[in-house]
Copies of this chain bind each other. A is one copy, B any other.
Amino acid sequence: MPPVQSVPEPRRVATLADVAGLAGVTVGTASKALNGRGSLRAETRQRVLEAAEQLGFSPNPLAQGLLAGRSWTVGLITTDSIGRFSIPVLLGAEDALGPEQMSVLLCDSRGDAIREAHYLRTLMARRIDGIIVTGRRTDPRQPLPGTPDVPTVYALGPSSDPEDMSVVPDEHGGARLAIRHLVESGRTRIAHITGPAHHAAAAVRADGALAELAAGGLEPATGRVHFGEWTEAWGRRAAALVLRAEPDTDGLFCGNDQIARGAADALRESGVRVPQDVAIVGYDNWEVMAEACRPPLTTVDLDMVEIGRVAALRLLDAIAGNRTAGTRTVPARLVVRESSLG
């Protein structure tokens, strides 16, 4: 039989109240003594300092925050559950907040208004210094209700109020980059396959694609944008459909990496060579998907990490009293892999 192990009782961290109690003074006096404020007798101050040392009491940012009206804490509300798109935003925000010694309180509202209201109450009660709101969808969202006094930045999905602080990806510019790359590599019959027309991401990317095609004097192959689903299955079906309608299509710009991957599979399986016969460009740079694609996928990266970083820096500025209204757009970049070369 194994020996019986004793489980150590978790020891409570000493509080200001403990220090005050041991020193025989009020909490207010103990606070003054430790902060070097107010007029106290030297003997009293000494007694408090000794009590603090004896209890291992160390300066407490919470207590200091209470006195200064600051908590050194930022609330991060993700509206559509934490996922592939909100994670890099979160990492970028954390990178920017870390050196400021700001901590991030995580609130996953999962698109549920009741959860969001609950979290908002919790955050306000904790006297957070600011809020970052992020979510998967890039459609504008209603501003948070009832937070007039706490600086708030919307990252990824902007607020519908243009006076709010929002930081968004350059969806339109990203699509133009993709088309420009295809045109510059000599493709002239370029089709666009994408997600549902009612998603802002699909609509704006399609606008950008058409604008850049027009700038090059081109119409989209098949004469229209193919809206559908954000799935590989749609990519397979749509690629087959496009090649049947316009067999000399030589470029495919896909609204996300899953559609692009489905398209690449369908073309390969029907004997069309990628990129020799048809070049493919995706969108999102979802690395696990882009790299597993055969061939590896050229795609647009919206730089979500930078969006999170810029959002956090704007929030810090606003907390410091330098609020800047309006929406800021972070540039996209193209990541070139084999699917568009040659």
- A126 touching B62, Cβ below 8 Å: yes
- A105 touching B106, Cβ below 8 Å: yes
Q: How far is the CB of A65 from chain B (nearest CB, A)?
A: 7
A65-B62 contact, Cβ under 8 Å, with A7-B323, A318-B10:
yes
A82-B76 contact, Cβ under 8 Å, with A28-B27, A62-B127, A105-B106:
no
- A122 touching B106, Cβ below 8 Å: no
Q: How many copies does the complex hold?
A: 2
- B61 touching A13, Cβ below 8 Å: no
Measured CA separation A321–B11 after assembly (Å):
10
Cβ of A212 under 8 Å from chain B: no
- A61 touching B125, Cβ below 8 Å: yes
Picked from B20, B231, B292, the residue with its CB within 8 Å of the CB of A233 is B292
Cβ–Cβ < 8 Å partners of A11 in chain B: 148-149
Cβ–Cβ < 8 Å partners of A321 in chain B: 9-10
Chain A 252-270 interface 0/1 with B at a Cβ cutoff of 8 Å (1 = within) = 0000001000000000010
Measured CA separation A27–B322 after assembly (Å):
30
Cβ of A58 under 8 Å from chain B: yes
Stretch of A86-94, A183-191, A238-246, A274-282 contacting B (4+ beta carbons < 8 Å): A86-94
Q: Which of A227-242 contact B (CB under 8 A)?
A: 231-233
Main secondary structure of the interface of A (DSSP, over half): mixed
Q: How far is the CB of A326 from chain B (nearest CB, A)?
A: 9
Residue of B nearest to A165 (CB): B7
A91-B87 contact, Cβ under 8 Å, with A10-B318, A28-B29, A163-B5:
no
Q: How far is the CB of A285 from chain B (nearest CB, A)?
A: 16
Stretch of A44-52, A66-74, A196-204, A331-339 contacting B (4+ beta carbons < 8 Å): A66-74
Cβ–Cβ < 8 Å partners of A10 in chain B: 149-151, 318-319, 321, 323
Cβ of A108 under 8 Å from chain B: yes
Q: Which of A20-78 contact B (CB under 8 A)?
A: 20, 26-29, 31, 58-63, 65-69, 71, 73, 76
- A105 touching B108, Cβ below 8 Å: no
Cβ–Cβ < 8 Å partners of A324 in chain B: 7
Measured CA separation A148–B66 after assembly (Å):
27
Cβ of A138 under 8 Å from chain B: no
Cβ–Cβ < 8 Å partners of A31 in chain B: 27-28
Picked from B60, B68, B83, B148, the residue with its CB within 8 Å of the CB of A127 is B60
- A232 touching B325, Cβ below 8 Å: no
Measured CA separation A207–B342 after assembly (Å):
46
- Chain A residues within CB distance 8 Å of chain B: 5, 7-18, 20, 26-29, 31, 58-63, 65-69, 71, 73, 76, 81-83, 87, 90-91, 94, 98, 101, 103-108, 118, 122, 124-127, 148-151, 163, 231-233, 258, 269, 288, 292, 318-319, 321, 323-325
Q: A10-B318, A14-B69, A104-B105 are in contact. List 20 more A-B contacts (CB 8 A).
A: A7-B163, A10-B151, A10-B321, A10-B323, A13-B149, A15-B68, A17-B66, A18-B69, A26-B26, A27-B67, A28-B31, A62-B62, A73-B105, A76-B106, A82-B87, A94-B106, A98-B118, A101-B122, A103-B126, A269-B269
